[in-house]
Amino acid sequence: MKITVIGAGNVGATTAQLLANAELANEIYLVDILEGIPEGKALDMYESMPIIGSDTKVFGTNSYELTKDSDIIIQTAGLARKPGMSRDDLLVKNAEIVSSCIEQAFKYSPNAYYLIVSNPLDVMTYVAMQVTKLPRQKVFGMAGILDTARYRAFISMELGVSMQDIQALILGGHGDTMVPLVRYTTVAGIPVTDLISKERLDEIVARTAGGGGEIVKYLKTGSAYYAPSAAVVQMVESIVRDQKRILPCSVLLQGEFGYNDIVLGVPVILGRNGMEKVIELKLNDEEKALLKTSADHVKKTIEEAMALINK
């Protein structure tokens, strides 16, 4: 297993370290445009492996040549948000960065899975699909696991119970219009609506939708990276170990939930064959309306991105 992480910033470096610590690859290549940074961070990680007890080798580079024949490419390069910015404010610059990185990586690894992390996430995943022309089984984005993790953490804080007992699902775009499905949220099998009042749940849902922004406000110079990186690792592990976990990921819809030619967060099975299946579930009218608002927003941003790329 050879994994390439493009972008040696906060998300990229943390992801590479977590993957190496978990020995999910034999080799990890960290790529960045900055000189010395990917090499330095990679060597530092490599040198931590004897202590961690992992045999993963970590290399840093500015060149895509060394990433040849990677099994998985993780795209994290791009601008991160600053206070007051929405993920969509990153569109112009990140569309350019993502298409250029993916184009170069694809030249050397045409058979890889492409896992997109750069924001605005659903749109960048769509851009990566356009560049590679790969089927949706091979190109998908990380957002739903992160959003769901935030939601689960907040419910755990509220109830004072283990986070592991909280099961939840979030659909839609990775942004303020995301759709947490309260109806499908359970705590050790108990519907969350039996345990938390509607008013409090509404507040928790709102905090979840603004969860990324809450971190940006504290950090001031960038955005979240511990939870995003942990979410990427969960996706990689499901593929590498063929776990076939059901995880919310951003994928191209082909009729599911009534949508086509749009990338949105939906539950999927991730295994050795990549995104193996989209799981459809029955939504009520309110959930359908929320998903439509989210889809309309993502669709509009995809159109903007495609106009920029085709210019």
Tell which one of 3, 11, 235, 291 touches ligand APR (CB under 6 A).
11
Nearest CB to ligand APR, comparing residues 85 and 246: 85
Residue 175 binds ligand APR (CB under 6 A): no
DSSP 8-state class, residue 34: S
Compute the least distance from the CB of residue 275 to ligand APR, in Å: 20
Residue 100 binds ligand APR (CB under 6 A): yes
Residue 228 binds ligand APR (CB under 6 A): yes
Amino acid occupying residue 135: P
Tell which one of 2, 4, 5, 12 touches ligand APR (CB under 6 A).
12
Compute the least distance from the CB of residue 278 to ligand APR, in Å: 23
| CA separation for the pair 105, 240 (Å, rounded) | 20
| CA separation for the pair 251, 275 (Å, rounded) | 8
Residue 223 binds ligand APR (CB under 6 A): yes
| CA separation for the pair 102, 73 (Å, rounded) | 9
User: Can you give the C-alpha Rg of the chain in angstroms?
Assistant: 19
Residue 257 binds ligand APR (CB under 6 A): no
| CA separation for the pair 99, 86 (Å, rounded) | 20
Total interface residues for ligand APR by CB under 6 A: 28
Nearest CB to ligand APR, comparing residues 32 and 287: 32
**Nearest partner of 103 among 134, 149, 57, judged by Cα:** 134
Tell which one of 118, 148, 185, 238 touches ligand APR (CB under 6 A).
118
Residues in the chain: 311
> Rounded to the nearest 5 degrees, what angle is found at the Cα of 191, between the Cα atoms of 230 and 188?
55
Which of 41, 87, 152, 174 is labelled catalytic? 174
**Nearest partner of 38 among 81, 67, 5, judged by Cα:** 5
Say what the alpha-carbon torsion angle 18, 90, 250, 74 is, to the nearest 10 degrees: -40
> Using CB under 6 A, which residues numbered 57 to 96 contact ligand APR?
76-81, 90, 94
Nearest CB to ligand APR, comparing residues 70 and 94: 94
Compute the least distance from the CB of residue 14 to ligand APR, in Å: 8
Residue with token string 């910033």: 9
Residue 307 binds ligand APR (CB under 6 A): no
Q: Catalytic: 297?
A: no
Residue 10 binds ligand APR (CB under 6 A): yes
* Stretch binding ligand APR (CB under 6 A), from 7-15, 44-52, 185-193, 285-293: 7-15
Say what the alpha-carbon torsion angle 73, 7, 232, 208 is, to the nearest 10 degrees: -140
- Angle subtended by helix axes 285-310 and 91-108, to nearest 10: 80
Interacting residue ranges for ligand APR, rule: CB under 6 A: 6-12, 32-34, 76-81, 90, 94, 97, 100-101, 117-119, 222-223, 225, 228
